[in-house]
Structure 1
Amino acid sequence: MQVAKQIDQACRGSGFFLVSHHGVNVLDELFRITKQFHTDLTDEERWKLAIVAYNKDNVKQVRNGYYLPIKGKKAVESLCYLNPSFNNDHPMIKANIPMHEVNVWPDEDKHPGFKEFQEAYYWAAFHLSSILLRGFALALGKDERFFDDYFKKEDTLSSVRLIRYPYMEDYPPVKTAADGTKISFDSHEDASLLTVLYQPHVANLQVETPEGYCDIPSSDDCYLVNAGGYMAHITNNYYKAPVHRVKFVNAERLSLPFFLMLGYNSKIEPFTPHDPSAPPAKPAISYGHYFEKAMVDLVHKNGQT
């Protein structure tokens, strides 16, 4: 219960907390392999892997694939991949349900072992997140296994993003926030249940507080965790999704989030923690419908990442 109390304190405070002794022992390898991938990837490969927002030929890649840099406009680039269980025989793929896609990967001969490592990492991050949710459940006054029925390995919409922020001598124009801070990505809430982020070496995240935006430290061996918008919805904002932004730092760096999500049709009835008699303040909404709207809103607000 001590861990649950610490989660509760963090989520009702800044909204972020660090997780050590997490059992994921491949973070150094994750950083090395991802850095090498971005270094070796050619422009031709980027274009072939690009999501449909960039490459109109890739109509089946709305979420998964490569998010391109745009010369003179946008420097950040990333690869997003989804549930490795999604294949052409998956019932949600067969039914053409939105947000379900078969992952695309770079050529195995050019990037040997990359796909296998990343798929294994996906499940390691998924397992850690499921353990963290037990602490969240206890902190919210629920049974430790409360969340178990709402997300399964075979249908979770969870994703990994391998984000690269490059160092550039001639950096594209960056936005300046109202407080004068130069930012790479504007203020937002995550469209997840939980976000489990590995952000080593360079600190560039800031969280909104009553006193203004505050820097969040980086860590080479800990995960940074925060509740997402769906957690805020189902807890009637008892745990808010912290508003945060990416501060501009002209340095080569990686940001490697795992976004924990439910299944498309999963629906949790909103509740008021520690007050079971309180009526729900918000209507129940399936995770798929919540996520679709949240992603459209994010792109409209901050542009295509």
Structure 2
Amino acid sequence: MPSASNPLVPTIDISPLFGDDKNAKLKVAGEIDQACRGSGFFLISNHGITVLDKLVETTKKFHQSMTDQEKFDLAIVAYNEKNSKQHRNGYYLPIKGKKAVESYCYLNPTFSSEHPMIKNSNTPLHEVNVWPDEKKHPGFREFNEDFYFKMFDMSAKLLRGFALALEKEEDFFDSYFKKEDTLSSVRLIRYPYLEDYPPVKTAADGTKVSFESHQDASLLTVLYQPYVANLQVSMPEGYCDIPSSDDCFLVNCGGYMAHITNNYYKAPIHRVKFVNAERLSLPFFVMLGYESKIEPFNHSKHDANAAEAPPAITYGNYFQNARVQLVITNGQT
């Protein structure tokens, strides 16, 4: 595991964000600020999530035990037109000879048929989760719903560090990031080892890539990716490797954070380097509510020649457009 002295991707102990020592919190905020103004990536330790081994075990078992028919029945509408209500939640299929990566995505467990954004208006981006058969995959739903809320709670604390880093009150994000309406999602992504791997793309610098250069469509991305390092971040000197960690989460800002901070915190451009190895990538995409709207602002450290802050847009409007651009750029994942 990389040490805190790693100049590209520092490790930040976020335990003070769970306490009451304001000076200790401000120290964490300063480290977050420095990391976001550097490569845009940092690892967080002492985050309070104690089920990472269980997460890996549950996810591996899920992917190994799902039949092709189960995957198709659970697939999003892009793969199974019968599932017309599943645009985000569901299975993202591998395609033989074309695409090896596969994943399952689930959304806010509070989204039910009675949720006001679904019952009254059928608002875009809100879906009632469709889960695999409980009899065939006992405990999978229960574990993942609990994991979702654990990640929400930890991310809420992390956002308090970001608020302080951005010279705001500690609770600045609280009214925008709420358990009952967050659009946050979890993706359980599997990259398999295959002897006959489908063709992969080659970047301009000659690197083979599984997912091309992009910025995340989120407020923050909090990623658990143990054992196999395959992410690269764009730096002035070229693409640089990002280390993996088996006990830390990797954090970076998404496009909405860049928007509201007028690019003081940029959404780093990164890509997934091709590695033919069995591995998991398990992101929690931190998102606000559909109607949340934060007025963009400048930081006191902004360059004196910084452009005027852009107009405010709702998170829902931002995310709908950002999702489309990701598919256009990299194809349906």
Q: Same fold (TM over 0.5)?
A: yes
Q: Which residue of the partner structure matches residue 172 of structure 2? A: 146
CA distance in 2 between counterparts of 1:275 and 1:186 reads: 32
The answer to whether the 8 Å contact 2:43/2:248 transfers is yes
CA distance in 1 between counterparts of 2:158 and 2:115 reads: 28
Selected match of 2:62 from 10, 30, 37: 37
- What is the letter of the counterpart of residue 163 of structure 2? A
What percent identity do the matched residue pairs reach?
75
Q: Which residue of the partner structure matches residue 296 of structure 1? A: 324
Q: Which residue of the partner structure matches residue 160 of structure 2? A: 134
Q: Does 1:158 align with 2:158?
A: no
| Aligned Cα root-mean-square deviation (Å) | 1.1
Note the 1:271-290 alignment, pairs <5 A: 271-274=297-300, 280-290=308-318
Residue deviations 1:254-295 (CA, integer Å, cap 9, x gap): 00000000000000000001379x995201000000000000
- SS of corresponding position for 1:231: helix
Q: Which residue of the partner structure matches residue 226 of structure 1? A: 252
Residue deviations 1:61-115 (CA, integer Å, cap 9, x gap): 0000000000000000000000000000001111110000000100000000000
Q: Which residue of the partner structure matches residue 215 of structure 2? A: 189
| Matched length | 304
Selected match of 1:96 from 109, 122, 125: 122
Cα offset, 1:231, TM superposition: 0.2
Name structure 2 gaps, 5 residues minimum.
1-25
Residue deviations 1:113-143 (CA, integer Å, cap 9, x gap): 0000000000111111110101100001101
Q: Does 1:119 align with 2:145?
A: yes
Residue deviations 1:215-248 (CA, integer Å, cap 9, x gap): 0000000000001100000000000000000000
CA distance in 1 between counterparts of 2:300 and 2:52 reads: 36
- What is the letter of the counterpart of residue 265 of structure 1? E
Selected match of 2:38 from 5, 8, 13: 13
Write out the 4+ residue segments of structure 1 that deviate beyond 3 Å after TM superposition: none
CA distance in 1 between counterparts of 2:299 and 2:76 reads: 39
Cα offset, 1:151, TM superposition: 1.6
CA distance in 2 between counterparts of 1:127 and 1:261 reads: 13
Selected match of 1:57 from 73, 82, 102: 82
Q: Does 1:255 align with 2:281?
A: yes
- What is the letter of the counterpart of residue 146 of structure 1? F
Q: Which residue of the partner structure matches residue 110 of structure 1? A: 136
CA distance in 1 between counterparts of 2:216 and 2:71 reads: 25
Give me the TM-score of the superposition, normalised by structure 1. Answer: 0.98
- What is the letter of the counterpart of residue 50 of structure 2? N
- What is the letter of the counterpart of residue 46 of structure 1? K
CA distance in 2 between counterparts of 1:247 and 1:230 reads: 25
CA distance in 2 between counterparts of 1:196 and 1:281 reads: 26
CA distance in 1 between counterparts of 2:82 and 2:308 reads: 44
Give me the TM-score of the superposition, normalised by structure 2. Answer: 0.90
- SS of corresponding position for 1:150: coil
